[in-house]
Structure 1
Amino acid sequence: MKNQKTWVAVILLGTVAVNAGAYLVVRSRKAAQPEPVAARPPEPTPAVAPPPTVAAVAPPKEDANAGLVRALRASGLAALEDRDYERAVEQFTEALKLRPDDRDSDLTRLLGIATDLRSREQSKTAQAPTPREPAHTRAPPRTRAAKLAAARAAREQQATPAAAQEDAKGGLLLVTSTPPGLVVMVDGRAVDLTPARLPVSAGTHRVVLAQGDRRLYEETVEVDADSVRSLNRDLTGELAPPAQKPAVAPVAAVTPASPPAADGTVASPRDPEPTKPPEPSVAKAAVAAQRGDLEVTSPGLYGEVWINGRPYGFPPISAQALPSGPAKVEVRVNGEVKRRMTVEVEPGRSTRVRVK
């Protein structure tokens, strides 16, 4: 009985040992073989978004209208110079249609001048003398009333050429400029602002276009009897501020070294004179802090604005860098002062003035 148990134990141990050996052999073989690499799925390529299309920026409508208005104004001025008043009226009318809110500009005055000149030409054409019946075909008056009427007609006939000759002694001078609002001086006397329609006597006249104390243009014109003389000038370049020259930096002078003396000693080089550093712009900043701006509007009166004796154009205007303190503001119409006031300019601030 004891021997049976021993053999059973030996058989069990042998079976376990055989199984363990087989397991180790199989495991070693699996370790020697390379593991198959699993194929990775292809990474999805990111979708590239098309570049955004840049929308074409249309030019602002106001700028296009402004260019067209300037072109129509120039065409109307050329028509005035050519005495084509019908075309001038059409051009100025079209320009005002494009700027319905800009009724206070010089286009209104130009349209009024062109309309007046057109009416003047039409009235001259309508008043052209009609050929009268020859005197020998008329029957002599017989009654007293007929004789008095004939005498009155003769007197009127004699007075008509005299009146026509009196009207023909003078002419018209039409002065326009770009930009408008310049002072027109005729024979040394300020008479109006551009655009201006001036009745003058026939002959030679000296015409000056000025802004304040600056004479921008001068010309001697000849005005014939019963005619229209046009003068149109573009003075935009003369009114532009002059370009400032760049400041030149000072160059320090270099002193050459002194030659050796006879005894072999070398003299010490002269020390160059120290250049003075540029002064800081503290004074400029202080002056700028003592200045202010002035904005002037005049909805009820259209005239040229003068500040401290200098013209600044037609309102609304913005006068910058004015000295702080009281400033004299005037509104002039055709060279005559219509409004006058004193405004306190605050340093470093913008003061608004409304002229009533």
Structure 2
Amino acid sequence: MKNQKTWVAVILLGTVAVNAGAYLLVRSRRAAQPEPAPVATRPAAPTPSVAPPPAAPPASEDANAGLARALRASGLAALEDRDYSRAVEQFTEALKLRPDDKDSDLTRLLGIAMDLRSRDQGRGPQTAPAREPVPSRTPPRTRAAKLAAARAAREQQAAQAAPQEEARGGLLLVTSTPPGLVVMVDGKALDLTPARLPVSAGTHRVVLAQGERRLYEETVDVDADAVRSLNRDLSAELTPAAQKPAVVAAVPASPPATSVVPAAAPRTEEPTTPPEPSVAKAAVAQRGDLEVTSPGLYGEVWINGRPYGFPPISAQALPSGPARVEVRVNGEVKRRMTVEVEPGRSKSVRVK
């Protein structure tokens, strides 16, 4: 009887254990299965994406552009003064301010300044001329000694005459705004701006052109072993003029032919209006030129807020009326004056 009760208890406990294990197994499988996706409802209308407004350029860019232009002008002045180390410093600082400016010619100007500096340093200090040997009192007795003495004398004379016979020329540095214009010297196209051109000492005719169109001409004097700088802003000459639309006159249709010939009515001549003058000629007639010199102060000449290079300069096709003339040294205004531009005339201005 006792054994029977024990077996019944064992069977009950086994049944409870099996049921508990099956429950835990089913629960773990349900937890591992992913939840069913919710029933799709009506999609909401997509909200239009609003592009963020473009960020305004920082105000520091304009300040950097002005400072870079001032450093460029200072570097050109240093090239004119043959201070090539300072020119390299000014162009380097300008490049740091405008590293992403693809239209700038600062990289080419920096290379020219470094080339001039290395050329100037390569010359080194001039050595004193060698003293002529004192002729010995006793002339050479043998023929070989006489030939050796004559050869040495000829070599010494040739060495002394070589520096004197060497042609001494100068350098012509031509820059423009915008860069990339053709530089013609004495009728020959040599390079594109900015250009460093070795030329002979004397007077040369320099022309800045774009294709077959000549934009600027000037006669410059280049001294021996000197650098002559020529910088011109030709943005106004390169701006295309607005063309007037052509007016097409409407041709009236011919009347249909009829069998009855009407009487010829007397024709009344309509008064013809005189043709209007060309807009271009009228605009040219309202402009004048300024010739600016500054013997007492060397700096870049600005007219109406635009650089025109170093004096003496010739500013052509300026609007008639008062013009603001400034002389800037390293970007700082040293002289300021107002000049009246007369239409169709060239006026000389002397900055004191």
State the TM bucket, normalised to the shorter chain.
Answer: 0.3 to 0.5
TM-score, length of structure 2 as denominator length: 0.46
TM-score, length of structure 1 as denominator length: 0.45
